[in-house]
Chain A
């Protein structure tokens, strides 16, 4: 439902913990379905515009979804499910009409399309409908400057009016940036581009096996949220787990959850791993 509203949230002078909410019509269009009230454990309420992660079981532990316009990092080892999570984030909304861009620096677009068909996610069809733009930048990491790839991404967003973006992976995109200081400045600047584009963005980060540190050691501080996907060998079987160390402005779960890659995509266990 679309409405023309101005929301006013006013603190109650008599009782600091209570808020009064009013709205008036000012002709500015907002999607009222996406505006959610949330209460934290202390009963304080906040108004926020949430965007679904595409995974209902994940949305449940992050108060309904990501903040619109936020940049979220998804860090994980090889095979942890980062790309699947990224595609699910785009696919679910693209089916509903909201366009998204997937910039891949890791897996070629043709392989990604082939691999996602196992979930019945036909990316080629959504590409034809201009609901998904798959940017295959695997070959251009070394050939062109990182800013040229950024330009290609921003053009793709504009071309289809995308509101969601996945960069898979940020580590791949920044491969040829020489220093940590430059990479940090680049990420800060990229955030400005994404703010201008009003895109909610998922950036995957590669974590090599047997390493616990994430990326170059600064990315998690600059992002609005961080989702860590872990896989470990337990009793001769790979076990996948997910936890959320950071999600600015969201009263997110602090537990660790098992998750499964099912024929329908990623599904997060509703019960925290430690309590099972």
Chain B
């Protein structure tokens, strides 16, 4: 269990929080205004709120491809790399999988 404030965080919530943090950090490479605009785009045109991303990775992946075209997977790789580093999982073992599958496997390996 990970403590959050004075309460405790469910393991699933904790891994979601880690993933969201990684997404935040990866998108930050484009700049703060762009990151904020990406979240806005996800919400406006894909009905995808930031905190729903961990549960809707396939939609997130589709939206990334819509925004960045073939650059979408590059952003996904950035996210995955950070996630693997944080959860101490070998990136090489998941890097060739689809984003959703790779994230799920990384989370599972870290349990």
Contacts and interface: CB of A to CB of B under 8 A. Distances in A.
Contacts of B40: 147, 150-151
A248 B76 CA distance: 32
B48 to A, nearest CB: 14
List the 4 shortest-distance A-B pairs measured between CB atoms, nearest first. A182-B31, A147-B36, A147-B37, A185-B34
Interface in B16-38: 30-34, 36-38
Contact of A192 (B31, B32, B33, B41): B41
Interface stretch (A30-38, A96-104, A173-181): A173-181
Contacts of B34: 182, 185-186, 189
A147 B30 CA distance: 13
B97 interface: no
10 contacts: A147-B37, A147-B40, A150-B37, A151-B40, A151-B44, A179-B31, A182-B32, A186-B31, A192-B41, A196-B44
A89 to B, nearest CB: 25
Contacts of B33: 145-147, 177, 182, 186
Interface in A157-209: 177-179, 181-182, 185-186, 189-190, 192-193, 196
Given A146-B37, A185-B30, A185-B31, 5 more contacts: A151-B44, A182-B33, A189-B38, A189-B67, A193-B45
A124 interface: no
B31 A145 contact: no
A177 B31 contact: yes
